[in-house]
Amino acid sequence: MVHKEFNEGITALEIAGQLSNSLPKKYWQQKLMAKCKTQRAINADATIKLLTWNDTNGKSTFWHSSAHLFAEAMEALYKGVKFGIGPPIENGFYYDIDTGDVSITLADLPKIEKKMAELANLKSEYKRQDISKADAINYFEAKGDEYKLELLEGLEDGQITFYNQGNFTDLCRGPHIPNTGHIKAIKLMKVAGAYWRGDEKRKQLTRIYGVTFPNQQN
């Protein structure tokens, strides 16, 4: 373990830059995908761990960020879609989506992959936003997303954060990679059905599975 002193308010990304000039630019996606919330200021003594692609939590953060990119692509392609949950899993991620009257099949996946790649190339920053419960409710009421509104029911002020990237906003605790540009390889693999919250008496959503990598060689 290395002990170093830094100015109050520094971020993990800035620490990486002080440790090595090339680390944030060349190796960011392999070294700093961690639960240290890399874009947030550090205002007290702290221990941070700079994770690699070989760390389970590093992959998890990368794939969770990829689920947000997937959702942004879906929203761009299919107006009015509504979103359930989109967690990382052992090998990639999935997102449960209400696509309304549109049926998504395997034939649609290459088009969605292409849109994801286009959005990834914009290098949109994942921005964390603390938000009140009232404002979060207002946002999803205006959007007409009853699934996110239901997820908000169990949360209170001080527990709610949004993450924004590009033109997409999601209810999320994070953490995330710095920007979409680190997502270099994308493959959507499977379309399935999933009842909302696992309840067969509730609506069946479309679950799409995918996997992404920080380079084309993985």
pLDDT 10s digits, 5-43: 666 655 666 666 665 565 554 444 444 444 445 555 666
Among 155, 176, 169, 216, smallest CA distance to 13 is for: 176
Check whether residue 77 and residue 34 sit in a common domain.
no
Check whether residue 9 and residue 66 sit in a common domain.
no
**Domain count across the chain:** 2
Check whether residue 126 and residue 176 sit in a common domain.
yes
Per-residue pLDDT at 122 exceeds 90: yes
Percentage of the chain with pLDDT > 70? 75
Per-residue pLDDT at 135 exceeds 80: yes
Report the CATH number at residue 190.
3.30.980.10
pLDDT range class, residue 58, cuts 50, 70, 90: confident
pLDDT 10s digits, 144-171: 999 999 999 989 999 999 999 999 999 9
Check whether residue 69 and residue 26 sit in a common domain.
no
Domain that holds residue 87: 56-213
Strand partners, 179: 125
Domain membership of residue 152 (yes or no) is yes
- Helix or strand holding residue 3 (H, E): none
C-alpha distances (whole Å) from 80 to each of 7, 102, 145 are: 45, 10, 9
